[in-house]
Structure 1
């Protein structure tokens, strides 16, 4: 443990970040857990809490796979920062919420955001830890870059400004896993931050922003990109304090200011639209399905098939609302059944259960139409088979876990690049400022 990169895992779910950084039984997700993963990460403390349910299913699965030692199943807002061990890397897939600032406290280090917004729990840890983590690795939905609708990008600007005030440089990228050969079209923003005084921070300071974004950065090393020659970067400075940004950033702006890739250091932001540069093998849905192994429960009865086709089909019809008002309703059709020759659509939390749905996956096999099994959903997120199987955990709940999860292979590839950069600078890392 002495030479390991110590990790604090927040909003852990069923352990996607941990699988990507530690592997499973020492094996790599990108090799389908067949080849060794020799990374230097060790999770020293984790937290998982689901506020909307009494039974903590995700935490139960997490503990069954990784053990109870160092795992807290309680509301993160109620955990004292002093109870969390010092760590080198803080990771987590935090929810996309309204990050606006309610008020500040005079003569206080911290600030008060809206109650229950989990970004402020991360902020509290970074503010109160005497030995701040040197690195931060976060995941969120890509709409974070354009939220809320009245101040496009305000929420992300608050996060960037918060990290800047705490002494971090930040790089980000929106990554669609399928565009880099992974089995699911799942688009998420990944955020990396580096504390002032680390070798990586100094590298950023001594590198042009565009060179870092397109070539030298951790994200560029793990997921290469290019950009159109005609495109130029947008540069902006985050002026004022967090309250000012919360109230005024891009007020009434119709479009966002942040592109899918960017870098922020000393409050100066450079952002540019990039596109993937990948020429490797692509994984398609057909590669992952359980041929002949799915049970009868997942097959759609002939009498229910018309209901599925209706929900997934295009519609142009008159409907009546609860007040008796008639209106024209229209929507486009969904592909039915889902193509086996492409990476899967994004898994949703409502993927489980027998009821007909517009959004659940349906595939056609020689035996008929069926929904995806829990194992297939796990494979689409690059989890080990039956990772979420546990007594008392229903198939519907297992599907919910995968709708909330991330693609483990993305974490693994970024983790490899980050580990290599840390290793290069391990002899020159300065003490925390």
Structure 2
């Protein structure tokens, strides 16, 4: 098989594409990026500047007709964790409707309407997906799995912390791969001992090895229809049944906790710093040190809400400044800007304390330097992009293993 054709949804500034296309084995034939809450589509502007405007859509995906999207072998995207619940409509007892604006249902619609099935899926989300919402732990993931089952897909998943595999940032995300029933991989999963698939045979295990399975796997069926799962799944239970790894095929869930195989020393925060190239803007004035120290420190204090209600507030302390000999903490969207904050990274240098630069944040996600640099895009916006992005190295390794599997 030549290059694998890819549709990239929720493309952001192109993290998935960078990881997929690095070795020249995948070709993104159509992409979509739409930010509903902003007038200026900054992420899409960066995407077009780096990859070209051809075959790139900057429209609300829920309003893009499936006919506009070319056929492809693989659909990828990092979609947001939202409320996936469903309801039946009175007019159409068969018609299941997810909430409007919930982007999972846009993926579902495209998969269901494509005349030529998309054979492979490669998706990413925050690991909270496995245990949301709090009233029915794991319901959203169960709905997702069941809806893919109905479309003819098997799924394997794993929560991966990039730093566990030598990458420069501690960023935990769930990655899952879907295989349509027309693929050889679907048949391989069907025949395999599922424990072996999770531990060593699976695509994700090939890319990111795990230790031998220590604890007992959990097996259960998702035999109810989507509406029943939406209403009843795991009601009243404190814990989600879904562990950090698993496989789902033909209505059966197999899930187990895995631990990463020990890695060699990886990239740490000091390895990505722009030494001696940083403008004064990023240095924190000494008179602000106390404010930063307070925000980063442990607190036990009585606070008063706007309503006048008083309550005890407590939080632990953050490492301040950030440890240079470890992978960095997770980048969040509020990383940019000068104002003191509990969550922004601060590093100690010879010249004093400073925040991280946009290039350093890009390096923590394994993007090329200045990938997000563009006229009209502020440093704060560039930091926001990286808070939303994924670690490119994770995509690269999984996509290499997926390519090998498709071509084996």
What TM-score range do you get, normalising by the shorter chain?
over 0.9
Is residue 11–residue 49 contact of structure 1 (8 Å, CA) maintained in 2?
A: yes
1:337 and 2:321 equivalent?
A: yes
1:157 and 2:147 equivalent?
A: no
Is residue 299–residue 370 contact of structure 1 (8 Å, CA) maintained in 2?
A: yes
Deviations along 1:386-428, one digit per CA (max 9) or x if unpaired, are 000000000000000000000000000000000000011xxxx
- Other-structure match for 1:410: 394
- Other-structure match for 1:239: 223
1:59 and 2:44 equivalent?
A: yes
**Partner SS for 1:400:** helix
Count the aligned residue pairs.
408
Aligned equivalent of 2:284, options 274, 289, 300: 300
Is residue 104–residue 243 contact of structure 1 (8 Å, CA) maintained in 2?
A: no
Cα root mean square deviation, aligned: 1.3
Separation in 1, partners of 2:217, 2:211 = 13
Separation in 2, partners of 1:412, 1:351 = 25
1:277 and 2:256 equivalent?
A: no
Is residue 105–residue 112 contact of structure 1 (8 Å, CA) maintained in 2?
A: no
Is residue 347–residue 354 contact of structure 2 (8 Å, CA) maintained in 1?
A: yes
Relative to structure 1, the CA distance from residue 97 to residue 325 in structure 2 (aligned partners, 3 Å threshold; closer, same or farther) is same
- Other-structure match for 1:254: 238
Aligned equivalent of 1:208, options 186, 193, 207: 193
**Partner SS for 1:226:** coil
1:400 and 2:384 equivalent?
A: yes
1:72 and 2:57 equivalent?
A: yes
Relative to structure 1, the CA distance from residue 86 to residue 110 in structure 2 (aligned partners, 3 Å threshold; closer, same or farther) is farther
Is residue 88–residue 94 contact of structure 2 (8 Å, CA) maintained in 1?
A: no
Deviation at residue 239 of structure 1 after TM alignment: 1.4
- Other-structure match for 2:296: 312
Deviations along 1:62-106, one digit per CA (max 9) or x if unpaired, are 000000000000100110000000000000000000100032577
Deviation at residue 107 of structure 1 after TM alignment: 6.1
Relative to structure 1, the CA distance from residue 105 to residue 162 in structure 2 (aligned partners, 3 Å threshold; closer, same or farther) is farther
Deviation at residue 314 of structure 1 after TM alignment: 0.7
Is residue 109–residue 127 contact of structure 1 (8 Å, CA) maintained in 2?
A: no
**Partner SS for 1:350:** helix
**Partner SS for 1:420:** helix
- Other-structure match for 1:423: 407
Flag structure 1 segments of 5+ consecutive residues without an equivalent: 24-36, 425-433
Separation in 1, partners of 2:27, 2:289 = 48
Deviation at residue 110 of structure 1 after TM alignment: 5.5
Is residue 88–residue 95 contact of structure 2 (8 Å, CA) maintained in 1?
A: no
Is residue 110–residue 124 contact of structure 1 (8 Å, CA) maintained in 2?
A: no
Please give the residue correspondences for 1:30-429 in structure 2 after superposition, counting only pairs within 5 Å: 37=23, 39-104=24-89, 111-229=96-214, 231-424=215-408
Deviation at residue 228 of structure 1 after TM alignment: 4.6
- Other-structure match for 2:9: 10
Q: TM-score, normalised by structure 1?
A: 0.92
Q: TM-score, normalised by structure 2?
A: 0.98
**Partner SS for 2:178:** strand
- Other-structure match for 1:27: none
Deviations along 1:354-381, one digit per CA (max 9) or x if unpaired, are 0000000000000000000000000000
Separation in 1, partners of 2:108, 2:213 = 36
Deviation at residue 132 of structure 1 after TM alignment: 1.4
Flag structure 2 segments of 5+ consecutive residues without an equivalent: none
Is residue 85–residue 230 contact of structure 2 (8 Å, CA) maintained in 1?
A: yes
Separation in 1, partners of 2:213, 2:123 = 27
Separation in 2, partners of 1:331, 1:44 = 47
Deviation at residue 226 of structure 1 after TM alignment: 1.9
Separation in 1, partners of 2:145, 2:405 = 22
Deviation at residue 331 of structure 1 after TM alignment: 1.2
